[in-house]
Amino acid sequence: MNSAMRRLPFRSLRSRLALLLIVATVIPIVLIGYISYRWIYIVQTEKIETEWVEKAERERDELERKLEELARVSQLLDVEGGIGREVVRFISSGDSYERSMLYRDITDSIANVNFSNPNLAAMFFYAPELKEPLLFPNSTGPISFVKEDLPPFYNQKAFTYYGPHPSTTEEKDGQPVFSLLRKLDYGQGRFLYAYIETGIGGLESLFETEPRGDSGRAFPVYHTLAGPDGRVVYSNLAAAQTIVGQPFHQPAGQYQTFRAEGRHGWTVYQLIPRSDYDREMNKWLKQFALFASLSLLAGISLAWLIWRMVYRPIRIINREISRFSYNQTPAETAATGLPEFDRILDNFQSMGRRIAELILDIEDKEKRRGQLEVEKLLVQINPHFLHNTLNTIQWLARIQGQANIAKLVSVFTRVLHYNLGKKTIIVTVREEAEAIRDYIELQNIRYDHSFNVRLDIDGEALDIPIPRFILQPLVENALYHGFDGDEGGAIDVTIAREDRTLLLRVSDNGKGIADDRLADMLEDSGDRKTGLGIGLRYVKQMLAVYYGGEAELTMESAPGEGTRVTIRLPDEMKGGERHGYDPGADRG
């Protein structure tokens, strides 16, 4: 297999890059015309269609606003709480003075409504049973109003919308309007109508009689407005294609149609001649094809330059990586001629240096973390408060002649001062032995009998420095957990110097520990909920912090045969002493 791979004609990176450049040049020429044309044609078509749909929706929204304005103004003319109520009183009143006052008030109200809605055209009340049916028009000019001649748009309950149609007044200069005729029933089978018109301001493009292209639009756009029943109410297309009052059918193939439907079912159509619509798209596609060809030529040229620029730096980088795999010492950075690749090489060498620094930093942080954990185990209460309180108790006991209590407090004060005081956490074997003697004396006073604890200390070991409070937890475990009763137990504490090591051993003849429990204690530092587990965990952490892997702790036990805990450690301290760290300083 390997021999076959070696015989391949394009095995080297240089030959493969050359082959890829040739393929990359030929394939785009064959495919880019089809792929880019289809993709961008679809994207551009969707974009244009979205724009025209939005235009149709804007025209629909504008017409919706005008029709809503008509409905809103008609509320002001209603007979229930509106101007219509005054009109009904005017029609029904036979008092000339009252009619005169009502006429003035109604005219003022109509003027206010007209002023607040400047888009309104004609506005008046229509009472068909009166000799003069047109009441309170907002215009002084002649009004040509025939209800049956209005082209209906759609109905909504008591509202009937009309339009587009010429205004009933001459003030709109022939521009079409939309109107609303609202039937107002005021009892006993009597009714009148409120008639309101609004202009086409904002919808001028919809009502162009001859749409044509201009500076803002490259081709004509025709419009058709259909009611909720689908029948045409307005169109500026040729009469042969759309007839007012007939159902609207979109011309197939002749126009590109966009539509927007109103909330009440009517629809606005925009129709663009297909030839004009496609002409713009074809023009865009020709421009795109030209720029795509130029981009392809530029891409081929740039690909060739990239091959020339990349191949040499790759070789240099590969050489540096190969050297680093067997030699991590800093070396002079090779220059590739390109700043980007030079930065890669610089970062690569910086990474190697940082790896070594991080390893040392992690080791140091782990040691400091262990020291802080040890400090946390030691400092659980405020020693100043305890010492002052115990001294007070001791003096009171002496004054009152309580010698036993004074002795107990004195010994307890020394134990606390040793464990929680401001001494350095590193002490000598002599100090640790004195602390154990104080602790045993304290227990003898507490339980009113003597524990059988024997200390065998080598004189050569008395001045060897060790971490403070390393033996007392083991003696305490033996006292509290090694025996079922208070009498008959013996504990031996041995401290000896052997060659370059220090031997610390605490053994008892108590009830012993089961094998599974002993394995759990050695593996997991004991159960933290018990004193046995806490003391052993503390001792193991102290050994790990100050001696690392050079300290050895073993436990030997069997049910009914007692327990022996042995610690072997170097006679010279490492860890906290080496780094000059004193977590015990100023702890109180």
Nearest-angstrom CA–CA distance, 74 and 84: 9
Q: pLDDT at position 525, please?
A: 47
Domain region containing 338: 328-371
Kindly state whether residue 70 falls inside one of the protein's structural domains: no
Q: pLDDT at position 124, please?
A: 92
Angle ∠(478,480,481) on CA atoms, nearest 5: 70
Q: Are residues 363 and 429 in the same domain?
A: no
Kindly state whether residue 184 falls inside one of the protein's structural domains: yes
Kindly state whether residue 264 falls inside one of the protein's structural domains: no
Q: Domain boundary residue among 346, 371, 396?
A: 371
pTM: 0.46
Kindly state whether residue 145 falls inside one of the protein's structural domains: yes
Q: Domain boundary residue among 204, 239, 267?
A: 204
Cis before residue 164, ω within 30 degrees of 0?
yes
Q: Are residues 428 and 364 in the same domain?
A: no
Q: Are residues 350 and 435 in the same domain?
A: no
Q: Are residues 366 and 438 in the same domain?
A: no
Q: Domain boundary residue among 204, 228, 253?
A: 204
Q: Are residues 353 and 459 in the same domain?
A: no
Rounded to the nearest 10°, the torsion over CA 26, 28, 30, 33 is -150
Q: What CATH number should be reported for the domain holding residue 167? A: 3.30.450
Q: Are residues 345 and 463 in the same domain?
A: no
Q: Are residues 360 and 446 in the same domain?
A: no
Kindly state whether residue 147 falls inside one of the protein's structural domains: yes
Q: Are residues 338 and 440 in the same domain?
A: no
Q: pLDDT at position 212, please?
A: 66
Q: Are residues 427 and 555 in the same domain?
A: yes
- Tell me the chain's radius of gyration from C-alpha atoms: 52
Helix (H, G, I), strand (E, B) or coil at 260: strand
Q: pLDDT at position 580, please?
A: 40
- Split into its structural domains, the chain has a count of 3
Q: Are residues 430 and 527 in the same domain?
A: yes
Kindly state whether residue 225 falls inside one of the protein's structural domains: no
Q: What CATH number should be reported for the domain holding residue 552? A: 3.30.565.10
Q: pLDDT at position 344, please?
A: 76
pLDDT tens, 33-86? 677 667 766 776 777 788 888 998 999 999 999 999 999 998 988 888 789 889
Strand partners, 180: 161, 196
Kindly state whether residue 165 falls inside one of the protein's structural domains: yes
Where the chain has pLDDT below 50, the residues are 1, 5, 214-216, 240, 380-382, 384-385, 525-531, 576-588
Burial letters for 449-466: b for 16+ Cβ neighbours within 10 Å, e otherwise? eebebeeebeeebeebbb
Kindly state whether residue 399 falls inside one of the protein's structural domains: no
